[in-house]
């Protein structure tokens, strides 16, 4: 039987290095959640409560407690949550609600 054609591996066909390579390849990569949290934290830290911002992106609400935002709307941020959302007042449309804080221009 030709060894290169079979599905059986004998000891002379496998060396120690190739076995350790297989173990490294087959291990499941770990998700680095600290990087994701740091990124969100960095985004949130760009904003301050009781500050007026201009909207840089539109936001269409999907829940009744969310606030619609249009580009260039003036939004007063009243409270910032640690999940990337905020509560505030849209001074342009005279409405209140929650919205993703990254829709506002922090610069």
- The pTM score is 0.63
At residue 54, what are phi and psi to the nearest 5 degrees?
-95, 140
CB-based burial, 20-44: b 16+ in 10 Å, e otherwise: eeeeeeeeeeeeeeeeeeeeeeeeb
Q: Rounded to an integer, what distance in angstroms lies between the CA atom of residue 104 and that of residue 107? A: 9
pLDDT at position 99 over 90? yes
Average pLDDT over residues 90-101: 98
The confidence band for 42, taking pLDDT boundaries of 50, 70 and 90, is confident
Whether residue 82 is contained in a domain is answered as: yes
pLDDT at position 20 over 60? no
Whether residue 44 is contained in a domain is answered as: yes
At residue 50, what are phi and psi to the nearest 5 degrees?
60, 40
Q: Which domain holds residue 80?
A: 15-103
The reported pLDDT for the residue numbered 43 is 85
The confidence band for 13, taking pLDDT boundaries of 50, 70 and 90, is low
Q: Rounded to an integer, what distance in angstroms lies between the CA atom of residue 28 and that of residue 104? A: 38
Whether residue 4 is contained in a domain is answered as: no
CATH of the domain at 48: 2.30.30.40
| 107 exposure class (CB count in 10 Å sphere: 0-12, 13-18, 19+) | exposed
Domain tally, the chain: 1
């Amino acid at each position: 039987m030709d060894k290169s054609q079979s599905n059986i591996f004998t000891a002379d066909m496998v060396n120690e290095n190739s076995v350790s390579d297989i173990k490294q390849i087959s291990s499941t990569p770990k998700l680095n959640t600290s990087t994701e949290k740091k990124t969100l934290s960095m985004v949130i830290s760009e904003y301050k409560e009781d500050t007026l911002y201009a909207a840089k992106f539109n936001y269409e609400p999907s829940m009744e407690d969310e606030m619609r935002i249009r580009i260039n709307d003036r939004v007063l941020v009243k409270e910032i949550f640690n999940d990337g959302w905020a509560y505030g007042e849209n001074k342009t449309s005279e409405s209140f609600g929650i919205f993703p804080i990254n829709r506002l221009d922090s610069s």
